[in-house]
Amino acid sequence: MISGRCHCGSIHYEMTAEVEHHALCHCTDCRRASGAPAVSWALVKRDNIRISGKPKSYASSPDAQRLFCGDCGTSLFYLNETIFPGMIDVQSATLDNPDVIPLGGQIQTAERIGWMADLNHLPSFERYPPFD
């Protein structure tokens, strides 16, 4: 089992590392809901995850519920019985060790922010760059 949590720790979860797929989503809905330029999702069977605490939910579209921590606001899960019956999508960046599940690919790149396509060519710093 692997574990994850929201920023404040009110919600934590344990799940198996076997996932149906694991993808970085660039869609506008994910961006707005998370406040981040992209969201990585690991799709797991609902029987294979145990969630402690009570996430708040928000209907982001008619069939979809996005679940988040009501205390600190961390986005955590996505439910959609039409597209993913019996499954739950987990925001894998909230895992304690996100590297445990290899990323399989990128989706919804039609809606990707332009500069997200070419990150490897930007200056990178292991920590904050020097301020001078």
Find the shortest distance in angstroms from Cβ 97 to Zn ion.
Answer: 19
Residue with structure tokens 């895992």?
95
Tokens of 11: 């919600």
Tokens of 67: 């679940």
Helix ranges restricted to H, the chain: 28-34
Find the shortest distance in angstroms from Cβ 129 to Zn ion.
Answer: 30
How distant, in Å, are the alpha carbons of 8, 65, 93, 107, 125 from that of 128? 24, 36, 21, 30, 6
Q: What is residue 121's three-state secondary structure?
A: helix
Q: By rule CB under 5 A, what count of residues binds Zn ion?
A: 9
The single residue among 3, 14, 27, 98 that binds Zn ion, judged by CB under 5 A, is: 27
Q: Does 72 bind Zn ion (CB under 5 A)?
A: yes
Find the shortest distance in angstroms from Cβ 83 to Zn ion.
Answer: 11
x/- string (CB under 5 A) for Zn ion, residues 32-71?
Answer: -------------------------------------x-x
Q: What is residue 36's three-state secondary structure?
A: coil
The contact set with Zn ion (CB under 5 A) reads 6, 8, 10, 25, 27, 30, 69, 71-72
